[in-house]
Structure 1
Amino acid sequence: MSTVPIKPTDILDYWYSDFMQKHWFASTPALDELALVIVLDQFPLNMFRGKPESFRTERKAIDVTLNALKKGFDKQLSKDRLSFLFMPLMHSEKLEEQDLSVALFHRYGLTGNIKFAEHHREIVRMYGRFPHRNAILGRKSIPAEIEYLASKDAFKG
């Protein structure tokens, strides 16, 4: 987290910049759905890192992503935006959603995400969940998870 304080004038300068003014009222259903996914998925993970609240809206983010896919919004967004549309699926502790995540990253050639998606899926395949979340969510770790978390290759979130 940045230690550089943001001043109110920084926000206003950004908001009223020529670039932003062109986008104030720009909207499409696909962009609106993507924005909601980012708010539900990325904001809590970064605002509440290491706390149970960071996962509070995860299921909703996944549901919004699945709805966006059903509506074909993935075909309307640029590749850089698709990464964040698919991200909630990578955060899911359901194997079928992990499989979908990997398939989507492959389908759209999002090579920067594929390795991470496959790694997330492998963890869920092995443990049925993300062991690094156990302490945060008050879940008891099984011996195999404890051994994994102690390893140098453990994903720490």
Structure 2
Amino acid sequence: MSTVDEVISFWLEEVGPDRWYVQDDALDAQIRDRYMALWEKARAGRLGNWASCPRGCLAYLIVTDQFPRNMFRNDPRAFATDALARTVAARACHLRFDGQIEEPARQFFYMPLMHSESQMDQDRAVRMFLLRMPKTGPSNLLHARAHRAVIREFGRFPYRNDALGRETTPAEQSFLVAGGYGVAVKRLQEAA
């Protein structure tokens, strides 16, 4: 079974920032092959002990928030452990565990909030990036604000509708056809 250090080393060094947010079928398959069993263990509530220290929280958040987005693209399981990740992220931020992790890895404490369809979580994600990621935060802050703008407009992420079996409203369909999330980012860039 993978350890905290192995998960962190894989995500931060082997995958690295250049591949964190790029769709790559080979990487997705690699994560499924190496970490599916670990993700299932986390989903079953059997990795809770990882959340007792900063590095353990970081590894837990990678497993429950980042890995499923790679392992299960266009599948509801991509979001199946989001609630677990949000709970650990909120507790870790309250305990200031995030401040004990260097940037840019620190962002993974805030990603579960940014991935949430709750306006309150979105507001908190923006605050976290603004206040706690001073060195590498500008790009992350832009994306946090873009996620929040989508939630403010629709109350959910329309690009998840198909995977979650939700009806897409006409307004959401127009948004998706116009470019979806990229439109939200562009609007914020133009307003700056």
Show CA shifts across 1:58-79 (max 9, x none): 1111111001012111221112
1:81 is matched with which residue: 79, 88, 105?
105
Show CA shifts across 1:96-125 (max 9, x none): 100010111111221120111100000000
Q: TM-score, normalised by structure 1?
A: 0.79
Identity among equivalent pairs (%): 38
Give the structure 2 partner of residue 31 of structure 1: 55
Q: Which amino acid is the alignment partner of residue 181 of structure 2?
A: F
Give the structure 2 partner of residue 155 of structure 1: 181
Structure number with greater Rg is 1
Show CA shifts across 1:18-58 (max 9, x none): xxxxxxxxxx8110011101100011100001111111001
2:95 is matched with which residue: 44, 63, 71?
71
Q: TM-score, normalised by structure 2?
A: 0.65
Output the aligned Cα RMSD: 2.0
Q: Which amino acid is the alignment partner of residue 39 of structure 1?
A: V
Aligned residue runs from structure 1 range 37-116, under 5 A: 37-108=61-132, 109=134, 110-116=137-143
Aligned length: 134
> Structure 1: which 5+ runs fail to align?
12-27
> Structure 2: which 5+ runs fail to align?
1-24, 35-51, 183-192
Q: Provide runs of 4+ in structure 1 moved above 6 Å.
A: none
Q: Which amino acid is the alignment partner of residue 114 of structure 2?
A: M
